[in-house]
Amino acid sequence: MNKLKFFIPVLVFVALGIILWRGLYLDPRTLPSMLIDKPMPGFELTAVDGAEVSNDDLPDQIFLLNVWGSYCLPCLIEHPTLMRLSEEGEIPVVGVNYRDRQDLAANWLEENGNPYAFSILDESGRFGIDLGVYGAPETYLVDSNGVIRFRHVRVLDETVWKQQFLPAIAELKNEGSQR
Amino acid sequence: MTSWTLENLRKGVCLGFVSMLLSGMFFSTATIAQVDTFQFDTAEQQQRFRTLSNELRCPMCQNSNLTGSTGGVAEDLRREVHRMIIEGMTDDQIIQFMFERYGDFILFRPRLTAATTLLWFGPLIFLLIGGLIGFGIWRRARKVSIKDIALDASQQQRLQQLLGNKP
């Protein structure tokens, strides 16, 4: 027992080492969303194309809510993935045009292609606050009841789609068939 | 034409200092202007705005508060804090609004929940552990009396030898 006492500092060191080592690989920039399992915040706003949009216009199935802006370079990187998803009909994508200008946003869509069913125009960033957005790009997975189930911060490329979104969607579908 | 006297030189240097001080003042007001452009009805409201902006953390540019941040979302959140103060919401209501959207992260003074217990009481726990260890060492040290460590005659002799003192 007395001999064991000498190993206490070593054990404490090892435990601390493991904790801190893990800490090195945590990403402090990826914040947990407060809106997981909460319904999508209500909105009655204008879309980038000028149409009036509200929660009633959201798809009745699982869809992506993608926060973007014409100023946002990473949005350009994830753009081909969003285009593919929407063109191949894999999942509908709704956009939130965050802290942008309507004319710039419309130009951007014309130039690069429009993967969105519609894009909610949020020039003031007020709707973004209700969503808990802190910067484009962010992508939310919303289920068929309009409840937010998953959030990914930063670029959504094919790897992220396969590794994070597909399993999350499979879980949602599985849950739906059990009901 | 002014003559090149010591008196005039002194005046010039003084003038230079004054203008430097003045421009310094203008520059410093320019940097805090991003917080102070909001209009309030009372000084108390303004004070509340300052306190809240100092205690709310910018979600994007981490480790700075809303006051010190030029990030887009911080600008929007400052505007929201201002709006809510003008609309007569209490500090608790405003903090609740922020918490519902951005979670504990946005509060520089996190709430006391199961998840934040360690954060709040961790330092106290470590202080207790350290205190107990220190107390243990002190108690054990007190038990040792001077008699136990006193040298007997032969040890005393050896010590003197080692010190090179002739007996």
Q: What is the pLDDT of residue B44?
A: 93
Direct distance between the N- and C-terminal alpha carbons of chain B, in angstroms, rounded to an integer = 95
The band of B149, judged by pLDDT with boundaries at 50, 70 and 90, is confident
Residue B52: its pLDDT value, please?
Answer: 94
Once rounded to an integer, what is the mean pLDDT over residues A128-154?
Answer: 93
Give the tens place of pLDDT for each residue, A83-133. Answer: 999 999 999 999 999 999 999 999 999 999 999 999 999 999 999 999 999
- The CATH class that applies to domain B40-111 reads mainly alpha
pLDDT digits (tens, 9 = 90+) for B17-52: 565 555 555 544 444 445 457 889 899 999 999 999
Compute the nearest-CA separation of B124 from chain A (Å).
18
What residues contact A132, with CB distance under 8 A and at least 6 apart? A33, A34, A35, B101, B102, B103
How far is the C-alpha of A173 from the C-alpha of A17, rounded, in Å?
41
- Asked if A126's CB is within 8 angstroms of B101's CB, the reply is no
Position A49 pLDDT exceeds 60: yes
pLDDT above 70 coverage of chain B, percent: 77
What pLDDT does B11 receive?
63
Is the pLDDT score of B105 beyond 90?
no
Averaged pLDDT, B8-15 = 60
Name the packing angle between helices B91-102 and B72-86 (round to 10°).
150
Pairwise CB contact (< 8 Å): B73 & A132: no
Q: What is the mean pLDDT of chain B?
A: 82
* The two three-digit tokens of residue B33, written as one number: 């202007």
What number is the ipTM of this complex? 0.84
Compute the nearest-CA separation of B148 from chain A (Å): 22
Between A17 and B11, the higher pLDDT residue:
A17
Domain A32-178 top-level CATH class? alpha beta
pTM of the predicted model as reported, rounded to 2 decimal places: 0.73
Please, where are the H alpha helices in B87-152?
Answer: 91-102, 117-143, 146-149
CB contact under 8 A, B76 and A125: yes
- Output the pLDDT for position A166: 95
B101 chain-A contacts, CB cut-off 8 A: 34-35, 129-132
A44-46 vs A52-54, strand pairing mode? antiparallel
**Looking at the predicted structure, is the pLDDT value of residue A65 above 90?**
yes
Measured distance CA(A81)–CA(A163) in Å, rounded? 14
B/e letters for B45-62, b = 16+ CB within 10 Å, e = fewer, are bbebbeebbebbbbbbbe
Tens digit of each residue's pLDDT (9 = 90 or more) over B77-90: 999 999 999 999 99
Q: What's the pLDDT band for A71 if we cut at 50, 70, 90?
A: very high
Rounded-to-integer distance, Cα A79 and Cα A90, Å: 15
Q: For residue B31, what pLDDT is reported? A: 45
Longest distance between any two alpha carbons in chain B, whole Å: 99
The C-alpha atoms of residue B140 and residue B136 are separated, in whole angstroms, by: 6
Main-chain phi, psi angles of A140, to 5 degrees: -105, 145
Provide the residue type at B32 as one letter: I
Q: Are B96 and B111 in contact (CB under 8 A)?
A: no
Mean pLDDT of B59-68: 85
* Nearest-angstrom CA–CA distance, B123 and A1: 29
Neighbouring-strand partners of residue A98:
A122
